[in-house]
């Protein structure tokens, strides 16, 4: 099609539709198709190439457990390290994900993943010196790429139909159930409808790209969370955004490069963090925090944030490594070499928004509050790791298959389809002379979030942030348009849809952050610096009458912390 | 300040490509081509279509041609005062800097891009050493960015030759000691014998895959010759190479 959208006859029928081709989406499609059901995967990026999974440096799970108690101990160790906020996730989910690691590692090896060995062939350990053993796929820093290549190969081996470079624009509902999705194949400029008995949302977490500096990839604009919210699903823990303080400061487009301030293989620091004068902030940190991981610990981040602010003023140095040994242990380091940094040069570090812990509220079957809709990976509430993606990928596939086997092909609500088609096509318009492209509006949103919703938050900033986001919606959106209205690979068209999602997610995130009157884990407020046990609660967000409705529920009955 | 000329083409609406020329200030040290693309789109609203997700040499989608040389936008530091950015040569243009990857993808689908175990998987952890995996691990670093294929002279003139990227993927499995598939036959079906070993691919490859690609192709060419593997058009190995030598 050239201009405008295809007819409503463009409906694809399937048993299960999977949205997203990261670790969670790919794995759930593989698992769902072994059930003999028809599976269709729709991916916003080129297949398996977008999203956070490919960026993951580690697998984050042990290879073998000797007792159930060891699983519980590992849950405690893992999540204490990643931050107090994780205890708001249902303990059953945390335990199930960690317990799944053993199976995932074995299965990935069977598919062809090479878990790195030492010279004599024993598995290399990236975790604590004592068992359980934490293997790393291929090498530190490249687990995600390796795992994603293998999962991508499996999708092809199993002949699972995939549509790449197609962005899902809405979740379709009828009589309170999810009955499929609408999507824009932006490669061809075609709007299409997928009618499904079950839908697995695996579109990635909502954080990251909302901020000017982030580790999230360009395609991660919170679409899944926004669509689920619009479709009436319950969201939770959305205020818990995690941060990095040790990412490449410039070139800015390489900000997603993480300098791991953790020990490598339990033996050696990956990078040393220093000030321009060469002084390590470690002593300052160790006065109040005991950790060997300066990369992930939120209390380390608070100390650095208070001392160094947004731009950090900190540097990474690798002079304690022999260059060859460094590249062998941490092959991604060659990016630094390629960008022209000399071994002796101080590498400027910056702050960036990392993963978001919140998302769709799921139970341990990965069911959401909307019948027929399942969530896997970062889009669901849980720990933001590849391990969580694999566990929830498998679990959502099992639950979706169960439903799909019993269900008949659902009816579509055609008025809803038409309304969505109108919304999507309304963005395919030229920008007025004094207008803005969607890329510019996105940039504006990201600057507002960076300015007012940074790691250290307070009531005044957040109120101003909320108003600015509302102003973007009111004043910039009507002036937003494209440079061209042809359909094929009009990425501006996709970005218009991104803007719509980002505005919804930002608003929800700000409101939830303002509601939480305490600090907890990665969530830090300067006006409420202490953790308040009365706030051991989850904030639930739903949509009622077109606006966000926030409520709280106690987390104690299903507490993560035992 | 860098004077940047960027290729623009919307085949749906335009007969001929054109260039947009913009002066981009030095934003920070080690500014990359991707920084420039982000600046012209996100700041100036020019709206150039380009692919890119990660910015850190992992996704392999931001391949462009800078002053005629294939490179990754994210890993190319701009040092000149004047540059020209074109789509990767050798591919059809979908829009602006976005190329049609389907020739690669369709071939990729036929080469069994997964491990085909020669013996059944026994149990975790399988017996394997880093030494045995070394060559395969190097090839696993291929990010399918297609810079090599864009630079390949044989791919340009021989539509049956798959281009180096497909062979890098074949290599990652073919060099894996656990793999038992007939990778030589698969390589022959992609006209492996048409590789001239000119190393144009090696020169542009941004990853470790460059370390083994020529050796792998050399190996399959020799195996094709030894086994008298005939490709789908009836050419024996080296026939095409001799034909091509006349053109180059």
Q: What is the H or E stretch that residue B215 is in?
A: helix B213-227
Cβ contact A156–B113 (<8 Å): yes
Tell me whether A254 touches chain B (CB under 8 Å). yes
Residues of chain B found within 8 Å of residue A110, distances taken between Cβ atoms: 121
Tell me whether A51 touches chain B (CB under 8 Å). yes
Q: Would strands A263-264 and A359-360 be described as parallel, antiparallel, or unpaired?
A: unpaired
Residues of chain A found within 8 Å of residue B56, distances taken between Cβ atoms: 55, 248, 254, 256-257, 332, 335
Question: Is A43 within 8 Å of A151 (Cβ atoms)?
Answer: no
Cβ contact B114–A491 (<8 Å): no
User: Pick from B29, B59, B173: which is nearest to A49 by CB?
Assistant: B59
Query: Strand ranges (DSSP E) for A2-151?
Result: 11-19, 39-42
Q: Kindly report the nearest CA distance between residue B135 and chain A, in angstroms.
A: 12
pLDDT tens, per residue, chain A with 562 residues: 333 444 556 899 999 999 999 999 999 999 999 989 999 999 999 999 999 999 988 877 889 888 899 999 888 887 777 788 888 988 899 999 999 999 999 999 999 999 999 999 999 887 776 778 888 898 888 899 999 999 999 999 999 999 999 999 999 999 999 999 999 999 999 999 999 999 999 999 988 799 999 999 999 999 999 999 999 999 999 999 999 998 999 999 998 898 876 665 556 778 888 999 989 888 888 888 877 777 778 888 999 999 888 877 899 999 999 988 888 888 888 999 999 999 889 999 999 999 999 999 999 999 999 999 999 999 999 877 899 999 999 999 999 999 999 999 999 999 999 999 999 999 999 999 999 999 999 999 999 999 999 999 999 999 999 999 999 999 999 999 999 999 999 999 999 999 999 999 999 999 999 999 999 999 999 999 999 999 999 999 999 999 999 999 998 776 655 4
Mutate to test the interface with A, among B14, B46, B47 (most CBs of A within 10 A): B47
Tell me whether A340 touches chain B (CB under 8 Å). yes
Cβ contact A251–B31 (<8 Å): yes
Cβ contact A116–B98 (<8 Å): no
User: Pick from A54, A118, A487: which is nearest to B54 by CB?
Assistant: A54
Question: Is B33 within 8 Å of B78 (Cβ atoms)?
Answer: yes
Please name which of A204, A182, A332 lies closest in space to residue B56, comparing C-alpha atoms: A332
Tell me whether A146 touches chain B (CB under 8 Å). yes
In the stretch 445-484 of chain A, residues with CB closer than 8 A to chain B read: 482-484
Tell me whether B141 touches chain A (CB under 8 Å). yes
Whether the pLDDT of residue B238 is over 50: the answer is no
Q: pLDDT confidence of B225, banded at 50, 70, 90?
A: confident
Report phi then psi at A163, rounded to 5: -115, 115
Tell me whether A439 touches chain B (CB under 8 Å). yes
Question: Edge-to-edge, what's the strand order for the sheet holding B82-87?
Answer: B18-24, B2-8, B82-87, B63-66, B69-72
The ipTM value here is 0.95
As a whole number of angstroms, the distance between CA B62 and CA B6 comes to 14
Q: Kindly report the nearest CA distance between residue A155 and chain B, in angstroms.
A: 10
**Token code pair at residue B162:** 């798959």
User: Pick from A109, A255, A439: which is nearest to B45 by CB?
Assistant: A439
Tell me whether B202 touches chain A (CB under 8 Å). no
Radius of gyration of chain B (CA): 20
Residue of B nearest to A159 (CA): B109
In the stretch 218-247 of chain B, residues with CB closer than 8 A to chain A read: none
A457-485 burial code (b ≥16 CB/10 A, e <16): beeebbeebbebbeebbeebbeebbbbbb
A36-75 burial code (b ≥16 CB/10 A, e <16): ebbbbbbbbbbbbbbbbbbbbbbbbbbbbbeeeebbbebb
Cβ contact B53–A486 (<8 Å): no
Task: For residue B226, count CB atoms less than 10 angstroms from its CB and return exposed for 0-12, middle for 13-18, buried for 19 or more.
Answer: exposed
Residue indicated by tokens 């995932």: A104
Has this prediction a pTM greater than 0.90? yes
How far CA A374 is from CA of A5, A290, B77, in Å, comes to 29, 38, 43
């Amino acid at each position: 099609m050239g201009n405008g959208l295809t007819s409503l006859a463009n409906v694809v029928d399937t048993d299960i539709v999977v949205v997203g081709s990261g670790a969670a989406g790919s794995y759930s499609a593989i698992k769902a198709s072994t059930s003999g059901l028809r599976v269709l995967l729709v991916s916003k990026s080129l297949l398996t190439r977008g999203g956070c999974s490919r960026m993951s440096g580690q697998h984050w799970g042990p290879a073998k457990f000797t007792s159930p108690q060891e699983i519980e101990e590992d849950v405690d160790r893992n999540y204490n390290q990643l931050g107090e906020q994780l205890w708001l996730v249902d303990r059953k989910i945390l335990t199930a994900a960690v317990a799944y690691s053993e199976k995932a590692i074995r299965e990935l090896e069977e598919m062809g993943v090479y878990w790195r060995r030492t010279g004599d062939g024993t598995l290399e350990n990236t975790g604590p010196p004592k068992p359980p053993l934490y293997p790393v796929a291929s090498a530190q820093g490249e687990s995600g790429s390796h795992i994603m290549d293998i999962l991508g190969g499996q999708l092809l081996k199993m002949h699972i139909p995939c549509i790449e470079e197609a962005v899902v624009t809405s979740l379709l509902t009828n009589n309170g159930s999810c009955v499929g999705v609408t999507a824009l194949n932006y490669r061809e400029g075609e709007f299409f409808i997928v009618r499904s008995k079950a839908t697995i949302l695996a579109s990635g977490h909502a954080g990251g790209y909302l901020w000017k500096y982030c580790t999230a990839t360009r395609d991660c604009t919170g679409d899944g969370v926004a669509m689920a919210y619009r479709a009436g699903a319950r969201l939770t823990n959305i205020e818990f955004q995690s941060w990095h303080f040790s990412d490449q400061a410039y070139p800015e487009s390489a900000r997603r490069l993480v300098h791991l301030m953790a020990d490598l293989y339990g033996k050696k620091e990956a990078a040393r963090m220093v000030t321009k004068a060469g002084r390590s902030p470690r002593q300052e940190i160790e006065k109040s925090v005991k950790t060997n991981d300066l990369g992930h610990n939120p209390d380390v981040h608070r100390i650095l944030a208070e001392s160094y602010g947004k731009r950090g003023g900190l540097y990474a140095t690798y002079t304690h490594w022999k260059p060859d040994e460094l590249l062998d242990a941490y092959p991604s380091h060659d990016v630094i070499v390629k960008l022209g940094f000399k071994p002796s040069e101080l590498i400027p570090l910056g702050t960036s928004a990392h993963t978001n812990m919140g998302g769709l509220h799921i139970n341990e079957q990965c069911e959401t509050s909307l019948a027929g809709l399942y969530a896997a990976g970062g889009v669901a509430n849980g720990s933001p790791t590849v391990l969580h993606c694999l566990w929830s990928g498998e679990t959502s596939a099992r639950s979706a298959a169960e439903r799909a086997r019993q269900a008949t092909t659902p009816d579509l609500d055609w008025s809803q389809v038409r309304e969505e088609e109108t919304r999507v096509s309304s963005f395919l318009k030229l920008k007025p002379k004094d207008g803005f492209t969607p890329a510019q509006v996105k940039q504006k949103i990201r600057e507002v979030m960076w300015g007012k919703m940074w790691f250290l938050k307070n009531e005044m900033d957040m109120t101003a942030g909320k108003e600015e986001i509302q102003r973007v919606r009111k004043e910039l959106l009507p002036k937003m348009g494209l440079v061209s209205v042809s359909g094929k690979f009009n990425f501006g068209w996709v970005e218009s849809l991104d803007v719509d999602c980002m505005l919804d997610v930002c608003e929800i995130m700000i409101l939830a952050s303002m509601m939480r009157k305490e600090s907890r884990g990665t969530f830090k407020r300067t006006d409420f610096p202490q953790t308040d046990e009365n706030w051991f609660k989850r904030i639930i967000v739903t949509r009622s009458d077109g606006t966000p409705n926030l409520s709280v529920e106690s987390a104690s009955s299903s507490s993560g912390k035992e | 300040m860098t004077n940047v000329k960027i290729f623009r083409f919307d085949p749906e609406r335009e007969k001929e490509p054109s260039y947009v020329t913009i002066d981009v200030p030095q934003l920070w040290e080690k500014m990359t081509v991707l920084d420039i693309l982000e600046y012209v789109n996100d700041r100036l609203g020019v709206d150039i279509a380009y692919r890119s997700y990660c910015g850190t040499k992992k996704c392999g989608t931001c391949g462009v041609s800078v002053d005629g040389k294939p490179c990754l936008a994210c890993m190319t530091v701009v040092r000149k005062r004047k540059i020209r950015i074109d789509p990767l040569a050798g591919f059809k243009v979908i829009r602006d800097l976005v190329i049609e990857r389907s020739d690669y993808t369709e071939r990729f689908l036929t080469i069994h891009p997964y491990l085909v175990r020669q013996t059944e998987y026994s149990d975790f952890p399988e017996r394997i050493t880093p030494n045995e995996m070394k060559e395969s691990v190097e090839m696993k670093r291929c990010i399918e960015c297609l810079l090599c294929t864009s630079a390949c002279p044989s791919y340009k003139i021989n539509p049956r030759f798959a281009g180096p990227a497909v062979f890098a993927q074949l290599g990652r499995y073919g060099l894996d000691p656990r793999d038992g598939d007939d990778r030589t036959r698969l390589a022959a079906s992609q006209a492996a014998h048409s590789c001239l070993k000119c190393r144009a691919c090696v020169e542009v490859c941004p990853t470790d895959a460059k370390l083994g690609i020529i050796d792998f192709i050399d190996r399959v060419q020799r195996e094709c010759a030894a086994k008298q593997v005939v490709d789908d058009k009836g050419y024996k190995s080296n026939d095409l190479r001799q034909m091509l030598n006349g053109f180059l």
